[in-house]
């Protein structure tokens, strides 16, 4: 099987998992936390815009890290710690959630993009 097909399947699986988690999180914010749908939509739009701008920069940074001889798996281990902390705080928010809840969502999405691109760059 060509490596491009394997890469595409891997990226598709990671993207599908990310989309499912984000859709479930949107429902959680609206139904359980009671945030207005317009606020959730605005927050997610900002998050998507931020990730779209950041992904090429993250990809270039990962390439630079590899060129300096640093193993990408070290980067992944380093990024996993704040990712896990943010994941916990997003699903266990404070008692009175506000729109500021989207700040950790945006950072989590940027870390998730770093993890996705890092996982995919581990393979040749």
The overall longest dimension of the chain from CA atoms, in Å, is 51
* Residue range of the domain that includes 106: 3-122
- Condensed to tens digits (0 to 9), the pLDDT of residues 26-79 reads 998 888 888 899 988 988 898 889 888 998 898 888 888 888 888 888 888 888
- Least Cα distance to 35 among 86, 94, 122 occurs for 94
- Condensed to tens digits (0 to 9), the pLDDT of residues 83-96 reads 888 888 888 776 66
In this prediction the pTM is 0.73
pLDDT at 86: 85
- Condensed to tens digits (0 to 9), the pLDDT of residues 88-119 reads 888 877 666 666 677 788 888 888 888 888 87
Phi-psi domain of 69 (left: phi exceeds 0; alpha: psi -120 through 50; beta: other): left
Q: Cα(95)–Cα(114) distance, rounded to whole angstroms?
A: 30
Counted domains in the chain = 1
- Condensed to tens digits (0 to 9), the pLDDT of residues 10-29 reads 778 878 888 888 888 899 88
pLDDT at 97: 66
pLDDT at 38: 92
């Amino acid at each position: 099987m060509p490596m491009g097909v394997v890469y595409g399947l891997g990226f598709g699986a990671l993207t599908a998992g990310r989309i499912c988690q984000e859709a479930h999180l949107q429902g959680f914010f609206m139904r359980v936390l009671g945030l207005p749908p317009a606020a959730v939509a605005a927050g997610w739009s900002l998050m998507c815009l931020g990730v779209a701008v950041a992904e090429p920069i993250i990809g270039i940074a990962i390439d630079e890290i590899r060129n300096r001889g640093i193993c990408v798996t070290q980067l992944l281990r380093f990024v996993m710690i704040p990712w896990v902390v943010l994941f916990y705080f997003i699903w266990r928010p404070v008692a009175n959630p506000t729109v500021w809840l989207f700040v950790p969502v945006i950072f989590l999405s940027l870390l998730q993009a770093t993890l996705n691109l890092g996982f995919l760059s581990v393979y040749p």
